Amino acid sequence: MTYIALGIVLLIVSLILIIADKRATYSRFMSSFSNKGFKQLRIGLPIIAILAIGYGIFHLITYQPPYLDIYVEEGEYTVFGEIGEVGYYAPQLIKKKEEASIHLVFWEPVEIGDNTKLQVTYPSGKSEELDVTLTPIRETNLKHNIQSIYEVSPISFSEKGVADVTIISGNKTIENMEMEIH
């Protein structure tokens, strides 16, 4: 939105300069420009304005926020992670050394078996494997192209920061995502 506003302002400024050139050609303001400099300014400002507006529109169309608000039976939640691939939400803030109930959101169909683990790599480089149980949530009104939501058995993390979490089912890696732990 900022680029669109900047482009509109630049178009208005270039329009004012064109009007000033036609109406007050010999004014003190207009005589402060050299002929070559004014022509370059008169051509350059609209080009920059059009580029700024074009980029602003492109950004509005393609921007995907790092979170998504969804509604499930339990209430409204914000999904974090890789929106469009795999994300997560929790009813409470995920804190270090506190048990957390996490829900995993998948946009692609996944097959999760009984022997599921979360491989967590913390910012310090320490890695741990957490044995978890994933229970599918039977949600009939899934929007935003969400394929499935799984509830993870309560787990606790030993460090805070942005951890790299890999979901492993049996010997197969399902997905990889980043999770923020406070």
- Tell me, yes or no, whether 25 and 43 share the same domain: yes
pLDDT at 95: 93
Is 0.75 topped by the overall pTM? no
- Tell me, yes or no, whether 129 and 41 share the same domain: no
- Tell me, yes or no, whether 72 and 12 share the same domain: no
pLDDT at 17: 87
Ordered DSSP codes for 44-97? HHHHHHHHHHHHHHHHHHH---SEEEEEETTEEEEEEEETTTEEEE-SS---BT
pLDDT at 140: 62
- Tell me, yes or no, whether 74 and 31 share the same domain: no
pLDDT in tens, the chain (182 residues): 899 999 999 999 999 988 888 888 777 777 777 878 888 888 999 999 999 999 999 988 887 777 888 888 878 889 998 888 899 999 889 999 999 989 999 988 888 877 889 999 999 999 999 989 888 887 667 788 888 899 999 999 999 999 999 999 888 888 889 999 99
pLDDT at 104: 92
**Total domain count, the chain:** 2
- Tell me, yes or no, whether 143 and 94 share the same domain: yes
- Tell me, yes or no, whether 166 and 77 share the same domain: yes
Domain-ending residue, one of 36, 62, 88: 62
- Give buried/exposed letters for 125-164 (b at 16+ CB in 10 A, else e): eeeeebebebeeeeeeeeeeebebbbbbeeeebeeeeebe
Domain-ending residue, one of 12, 38, 62: 62
pLDDT at 5: 95
- Tell me, yes or no, whether 38 and 108 share the same domain: no
- Tell me, yes or no, whether 35 and 98 share the same domain: no
- The CATH number of the domain holding residue 157 is 2.60.40
- Tell me, yes or no, whether 83 and 171 share the same domain: yes
- Tell me, yes or no, whether 58 and 35 share the same domain: yes
Q: Which of these, 120, 131, 130, lies nearest to 161 by C-alpha position?
A: 120
- Tell me, yes or no, whether 139 and 175 share the same domain: yes
* Structural domain range at position 71: 67-181
